[in-house]
């Protein structure tokens, strides 16, 4: 049911003629029917952040939002004042439809950078989406399809708290995925009775341990947005720890689904670094390995090339991650192919047929800090998709 799984939300996904793919659903609307209208958000740190990011960052700053409108088919990024005005006009149009102020409407876009949106199509699509609003599973599915670009499948999550309150969510993302959100748009809804402050704290931590720990291709988007909305319709005030836990689980599930649908990917790669002096040190090491295009290509060819792992690991400065290279071990799919910084078992012993590849790196510093990041391999299909990208 996606964003309509939690009580108090309606959604729609319609064909607005924004996408270059004829007949594709390309505009989604999610409306919070209350009684609460709490919201939290995290956004890309890219300095070329898109007009809808600029607008939505301001719109959710007061912790209130009535609706979110999202389009695929165009990013509205690097479009100057004209692009920003398009976001304003879109928010104003949705606000009039749902009976709210423009400042209570978040706007999200994804697609090709550098071009204005066909605004008439966007506004007509908003009206069509409003007319189609429903709280059904089908409506939630339509919304999750409408935000897809190069995604091959919708990505959704549904979770239920111990006393009946719910979380539902959807995300799009397949390429242009790198830490500092990962190109992704995400809307998570809950019918729990929670404050905007509690939601912001939960979402910030959850994003740091999920969307900020995936890396498909090392490319940070201009449009990344993740929003958490609460309707309070369940009437249940959840245990704070349980709420934080389920928000984190929702983000973890959605981010893992992004990796599972990485553009052209044939392997999902989990990199876990243990034995580090701090979590930050472990994370820096994991990200360095995840960023290696050489390693990604090797994995695509079913080659567990441990030399490419340790060479990437060695780029992390001792000030960030102190360790002795002669004590490092590397296991790939359970086979120790690097022992004490040198050759271990023959890499031909590693079974590379599973979709998931597990790389376990132990820095053996005597400390126990660890971190995990996920990435994908790079294939010929990735090149074809991005050589032809038209949104």
Residues assigned a catalytic role: 183
Q: State the DSSP code for 78.
A: S
For Cα atoms 75, 76, 82, give the angle at the middle one, nearest 5 degrees: 175
Residues 6+ apart with CB under 8 A from 163: 236, 238
Cα–Cα nearest to 28, from 74, 91, 70, 76: 70
Cα–Cα nearest to 39, from 200, 191, 166: 200
Cis bond before residue 35 (omega within 30° of 0)? yes
H/E stretch holding 369: strand 369-376
Instruction: State the chain's maximal CA–CA distance in angstroms.
Output: 66
Angle between helices 306-313 and 279-290 (to 10 degrees): 130
Q: Are 3 and 30 in contact (CB under 8 A)?
A: yes
For Cα atoms 156, 127, 61, give the angle at the middle one, nearest 5 degrees: 60
Cα separation, 224 vs 177, in Å, equals 9
For Cα atoms 142, 147, 35, give the angle at the middle one, nearest 5 degrees: 65
Cα separation, 140 vs 143, in Å, equals 5
Q: How many residues are there in the chain?
A: 391
Q: Are 54 and 224 in contact (CB under 8 A)?
A: no
Cα–Cα nearest to 390, from 111, 24, 23: 111
Q: Are 50 and 74 in contact (CB under 8 A)?
A: no
């Amino acid at each position: 049911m996606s964003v309509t799984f939690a009580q108090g939300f309606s959604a729609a996904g319609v064909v607005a003629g924004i996408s270059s793919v004829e007949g594709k659903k390309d505009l989604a609307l999610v409306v919070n029917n209350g009684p609460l209208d709490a919201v939290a958000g995290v956004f890309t740190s890219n300095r070329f952040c898109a007009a809808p990011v600029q607008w939505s960052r301001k719109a959710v700053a007061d912790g209130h939002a009535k609706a979110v409108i999202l389009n695929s088919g165009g990013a509205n990024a690097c479009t100057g004042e004209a692009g920003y005005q398009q976001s304003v006009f879109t928010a104003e149009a949705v606000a009039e439809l749902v009976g709210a102020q423009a400042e209570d409407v978040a706007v999200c876009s994804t697609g090709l950078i550098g071009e204005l949106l066909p605004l008439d199509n966007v506004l007509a699509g908003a009206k069509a989406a409003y007319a189609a609003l429903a709280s059904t599973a089908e409506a939630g599915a339509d919304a999750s399809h409408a935000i897809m670009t190069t995604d091959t499948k919708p990505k959704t999550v549904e979770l239920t708290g111990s006393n009946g309150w719910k979380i539902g969510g959807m995300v799009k993302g397949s390429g242009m995925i790198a830490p500092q959100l990962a190109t992704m748009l995400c809307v998570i809804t809950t019918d729990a009775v929670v404050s905007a402050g509690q939601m912001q704290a939960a979402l910030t931590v959850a994003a740091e341990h999920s969307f900020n720990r995936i890396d498909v291709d090392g490319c940070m988007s201009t449009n990344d947005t993740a929003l958490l909305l609460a309707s309070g319709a369940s009437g249940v005030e959840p245990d704070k720890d349980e709420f934080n836990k389920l928000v984190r689980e929702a983000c973890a599930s959605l981010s893992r689904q992004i990796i599972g649908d990485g553009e052209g990917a044939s392997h999902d790669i989990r990199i876990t670094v243990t034995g580090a002096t701090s979590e930050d040190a472990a994370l820096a090491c994991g990200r360095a390995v995840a960023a290696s295009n050489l390693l990604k290509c090797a994995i695509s060819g079913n080659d567990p090339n441990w030399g490419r792992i340790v060479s990437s690991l060695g780029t992390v400065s001792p000030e960030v991650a102190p360790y002795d290279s002669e004590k490092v071990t590397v296991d790939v799919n359970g086979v120790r192919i690097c022992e004490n910084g040198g050759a271990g078992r023959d890499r031909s012993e590693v079974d590379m047929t599973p979709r998931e590849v597990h790389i376990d790196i132990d820095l053996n510093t005597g400390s126990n800090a660890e971190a995990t990041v996920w990435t994908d391999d790079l294939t010929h299909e990735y090149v074809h998709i991005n050589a032809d990208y038209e949104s």
